[in-house]
Amino acid sequence: MGDCLFCKIIKGEIPSTKVYEDEEILAFNDIKPLAPIHILVIPKKHISSLADMENGDEVIVGKIYKVINKIAEEKGFKKDGYRVIVNCGENGGQEVMHLHFHVLAGKKLGNK
């Protein structure tokens, strides 16, 4: 996916502040944080959106949730809590068409 922003971040063509990386998953700080901690967790496989998951992609999505908990533990916000958001499609407010999980933490978040 040559013109995908997050694929470029995965390849290192665009710099990012990495929080976690393994063979299948990358996590990095959001460039415009909406909370004291705002991390994006993405599969290295290009999946355009939640709506574009193919059979088998549920495995990587499950691993992403596990990685989110690992990051929460390591960064010390597991106990206080956090929020995970996935925007999907136009009405969902998705701007980057590479599946990503927003992890927000570090303050008491508003309702919704």
Residues tagged active-site: 100
Interaction between residue 94 and ligand 5GP (CB under 6 A): yes
8 Å CB contact between 104 and 65: no
> Can you read off the two tokens belonging to residue 81?
């809590």
Residues 56-85 close enough to bind Zn ion by CB under 5 A: none
Determine the Cα–Cα distance for residues 68 and 55; give it in Å rounded to an integer.
22
Binding site partner of 46, from ligand 5GP, Zn ion, none, Cβ cut-off 5-8 A by kind: Zn ion
Alpha helices by DSSP H, 1-112 = 5-11, 57-75, 89-92
* Closer of 28 and 77 to ligand 5GP (Cβ): 28
8 Å CB contact between 9 and 25: no
Binding site partner of 71, from ligand 5GP, Zn ion, none, Cβ cut-off 5-8 A by kind: none
Number of residues lying near Zn ion (CB under 5 A): 6
Q: Which residues bind ligand 5GP (CB under 6 A)?
A: 5, 14, 16, 28-32, 40, 87, 93-96
